[in-house]
Amino acid sequence: MKIKHFILSLIILLALTPAIQAEDDFQYWSQYSLKMIDTEKIDWSIYTEGRFYNDAKDVGLYLVSQKIKYDFFKHLSLGTNYTYLQFKTNNTVASRSEFKYQHRAELEINPHWSFGDVLKFDSRNRVEFRWIEDKGSYNTRSRHRLNFTFPIKNKRFLKGIYANSEFFYNIAENQYDENRSVPIGLNFKLNDKSSLKTFYMIQAKKGTNWSSNQILGTLLSLKF
């Protein structure tokens, strides 16, 4: 029954992905999360990420984020984050690539439910207030991710299989311009203080037309 549910969720998520007209790049995303404070109601984590573009050969983006999570309700988590990132862009005037900075203030409303030992569902809903170098402060966007996790028992390290899809709406430009779908991801528990996620992602982005990137990623989570 778990496999049937997983296949159905996978079909739905892929069906919601925009039509892709070109495969642009293979990338590797390396993610790390360090939980500094872990209490019943409030958690504080430091999150970092590096993205390697051009067939995973060049650093194209890196970021660090401070995340505070509030668990005041049974099926609802709230979050406030601050993120600083640097992203590579092409300077057409100087004919070279250079990094630009971005600051983000983020608000999250994240409902979640568990359906016994069969399925876990969560939805991350975030508004990002972005200050982008050379583009000013009005670059607000929202993003909404639907995630389905299927727990696995009686395995030493593998604890679950998941699939998700995230939709990006650019409020400043009034358009839906990005989708990230993970048709397959794996959750591993390494020990009581660490876990690992591995995933394959299709990132679809809208420019003149929709194009896509194929991404392999890892998320290593640690806590004190």
Greater confidence (19 vs 184) lies with 184
Q: What is the mean pLDDT of residues 133-158?
A: 94
Q: Is the pLDDT of residue 31 over 70?
A: yes
Q: What is the residue range of 148's domain?
A: 2-223
Residue 109 sits in a domain whose CATH number is 2.40.160
What's the predicted TM-score (pTM) here? 0.88
Please give the backbone phi and psi of residue 7, each rounded to the nearest 5 degrees, phi first.
-65, -40
Q: What is the mean pLDDT of residues 22-40?
A: 91
pLDDT band at 6 (very low <50, low <70, confident <90, very high): low
Q: What is the mean pLDDT of residues 23-44?
A: 94
pLDDT tens digits, 94-105: 678 899 999 999
Q: Is the pLDDT of residue 205 over 80?
A: yes
- The predicted pLDDT at position 154 comes to 83
Tokens of 80: 């406030």
Q: Which residue has the tokens 């009686």?
A: 154
Q: Is the pLDDT of residue 106 over 90?
A: yes
Greatest alpha-carbon pair distance for the chain in Å reads 59
- DSSP letters of 96-164? EEEEEEEEEEEEEEEEEEEETTTEEEEEEEEEEEEEETTTBS---EEEEEEEEEEE--S-SSEEEEEEE
Considering its fold, how many domains does the chain have in total?
1
pLDDT tens digits, 40-83: 999 999 999 999 999 999 999 999 999 999 999 999 999 999 99
